[in-house]
Amino acid sequence: MKFNLNDIRAYVISPNEFEVIFDTYLKPKVMSLKENGQIITIDNINTNSNKNNTTMLFKINNKFRMNKVYKFTVDNLTVTVSFEKYYRTKIFEDDYYYSGDDLGVIFNDNEIMLKVWSPTAEQIELILYSPIDHRKLIKEMTRGKSGVWSCVINIKYRQWLYKYNVIRDHHNNEIVDPYAKAVSANGDEGVLVNVDHTRVIQKHIIRPYTKAESIIYETHVRDFTIDDESGVKFKGKYLGFIESSPRKSTSLDYLRNLGITHIELLPVSDFEGVNELNPDHYYNWGYNPVNFFVPEGSYSISPNNPSSRLLEIKTMIEAVHKRGLGVILDFVFNHVYDIASSPLEILVPGYFFRKWDNGVLANGSGCGNDIASENSMARKLILDCVRYWIEEFNIDGIRLDLMGNLDIQTVSEMDILCKRLKPEFILLGEGWNLNTKLSNESKAIIENAFQLENVSFFNDQYRDSLKGSSFTLSHKGIGLGAEVNETVLKDILIGKLTRNQTNVFVKPSQSVNYIECHDNHTIWDKMIISNYYEDEACRVRRQLLMNSILLISHGVAFIHSGQEFCRTKFHDGNSYKSGDEINKIRWKNIIKHNSYIEKLKDIISFRKRSGIYKIDDYAEIERIMKISIVDEKLFKIEYNDTDFYGEYENIIIYINFDKVDKTISISKDIKFKFISDISKPTIDNELVIEYLSLKILIKNKYSP
């Protein structure tokens, strides 16, 4: 029977054994193995065949050498023998795991040390380029323990550009250091910058909000200020993000006045898709990771200066802290932009990325590759990067893009690391179950939230119950007119996520409550489809109502930039590269919807002062909270015994999902005050709850 190259796979499985898998039943006639072109003796010690495939086990006299290339030939077809299965053995782990904290570039008094991990390289050269005339120097690196290559050079080479030349099987591959802390424009080379010289004095420590009471505001560095109405000078830049607008109603001043607790930025680590020297030509959200340890240069006012972007982003973070707000950064550790050119793949082929048993790359990320976070040195890279960004840039939280594509152990160790460095650090992510080569039991997915109780997950059930499906625009949640029932409303208000009639969360702070984020259509654009028959005023009230419910729900409140003033992306449901006209924040809409923004400010103030949103225990919330149905679409939420937690003794919230006003009778001697008063005044003993609105009544402690 004839077979082709795609039918054959060969793997080293022990120090002196390898297996060959044929996707067919066959009896090959001629077989050989070469090490760097030289034939070596092999013995076939076992063969298993069935009608679908044949697996042959071979043994060699000596041990396989990691830095050699082995090729197996059968009947004139030749395949490279992969070490991918060997990478996952305890023997490899014991021999090649490197625990040191000095990978990358380390500056000492009079010298610079560089280290890179590559047990499979035959030789690695350090290539230095002068920053003045780009003349090139080459220095050989020395292989040491665990497959770590190192080189020590004179301090005079600081500010020089550098790359590694990785040599295997007589092939040269020039790469950027995967641990580089500074790079040239567009990340073409690493740069020998001493990051200690880019420090910004950290004077401000933000109030340590508990995760349960946090209000996160997601935005994008460029989107936030690129609009002419932003009133800032450095539009779309790190420094523009923190400029004080003359109008005080845009940019960072606006966010401080809004009352949120944390700003979450879409990826600011170095990514592909934007020319840093001409950032207005292309647009990208930033989910194309290249250099994990380096800030993106397109947001810098001086991308040609490797130190400038470091200083600028640190200045930005410190300025955000000065205004009392925390900084959460979005990280993409689930894939790389291009596996073929990735330094990780070139340094250790097949180690850093998952493959299916048939040799095809896993693609749960949808981006062509999945980082094998479960492999110890891949996990180390991720954790080293997290530690660096916390210690060097003083960030307060991390959002993990496609967190479900990572393994539980990596995310758990990350959580422990983050909490050790900053006790109130916020770790959140997308716990979607993606089709990657990990067992469901090993994935950091929502269903495994009980194993990651200090990690928060985006609650898609919350989103769909309140707004409706993000993927079927005509589908409605209760905020858009679907039938309301007490169970659905209760799950929303206490931040539950139910799978098989069981809440998967251990505590409310595991639930990231959201109805809109950078992905998919904005609420406003969805309503134009789902609620096309309603006028603009009605849809505005629906958006205000859903935003208000979000802010009175237990769990982490998450607001997408512009969500509070009916942001549109002009029906673009995936605007990751759609440009400024689609993505920019249109600040004039703040003026248009100012009265509604003021009401949201009142509710945010209530959320902070009440104290009940610090409660991170489902049983306690259910003890003090009672939900009752006043009529079909009018609900009453009452909190008692709340004086222990904050300023209020009792709290009553009415939510009117109907499109008509509701009038209720109240006691003559009621001592409650109103918050977010978007309803008509009390007349006689009646309280009017306007259509599509909520009203909060509070009783202060010690009120007569």
DSSP bridge partners of 426: 397
Find the helix packing angle between 376-393 and 306-322, rounded to 10°: 60
Catalytic, out of 345, 430, 534, 649: 430
Phi, psi dihedral angles at 200 (to 5 degrees): -115, 130
DSSP secondary structure letter of residue 479: G
Alpha-carbon distance of 444 to 405, in angstroms, equals 7
401 is catalytic: yes
Is residue 508 a contact partner of residue 494, using CB atoms and an 8 Å limit?
yes
Is residue 262 a contact partner of residue 328, using CB atoms and an 8 Å limit?
yes
Residue 484 tokens read as: 């309301």
Other Cβ atoms less than 10 A from the Cβ of 498: the count is: 12
Helix/strand/coil for 307 = helix
Q: What angle do CA 294, 296, 299 make, to 5 degrees?
A: 145
DSSP secondary structure letter of residue 244: P
Alpha-carbon distance of 35 to 97, in angstroms, equals 24
Phi, psi dihedral angles at 459 (to 5 degrees): -95, 95
Nearest to 257 by CA among 210, 315, 324: 324
Following DSSP, what letter does each residue of 120-154 receive, concatenated?
A: T-SEEEEEEE-TTT--EEEEE-EE-GGGEEEEEEE
Alpha-carbon distance of 666 to 687, in angstroms, equals 7
Alpha-carbon distance of 115 to 150, in angstroms, equals 4
- The H or E element that residue 686 is part of is strand 686-689
Residue 103 tokens read as: 């990978």
- The H or E element that residue 543 is part of is helix 536-551
Is residue 605 a contact partner of residue 257, using CB atoms and an 8 Å limit?
no
Question: Rounded to the nearest 10 degrees, how much is the dihedral formed by the CA atoms of 61, 62, 64, 70?
Answer: -50
Catalytic, out of 84, 189, 218, 401: 401
Following DSSP, what letter does each residue of 362-378 receive, concatenated?
A: P-TTSSS--B-TTSHHH
430 is catalytic: yes
Is residue 70 a contact partner of residue 34, using CB atoms and an 8 Å limit?
yes
Nearby residues of 375 by Cβ (< 8 Å), 6 or more positions away = 87, 88, 351, 352
Nearest to 576 by CA among 267, 238, 370: 267
Nearest to 8 by CA among 304, 359, 465: 359
User: CA separation (Å) from 264 to 238, 260, 325, 547, 561?
Assistant: 14, 11, 10, 18, 10
Unique residue bearing structure tokens 């944390």: 262
Following DSSP, what letter does each residue of 12-77 receive, concatenated?
A: EEETTEEEEEESS----S-EEEEETTEEE-EEEEEEEE-SS-EEEEEEESS---TTS-EEEEETTE
Catalytic (active-site) positions: 401, 430
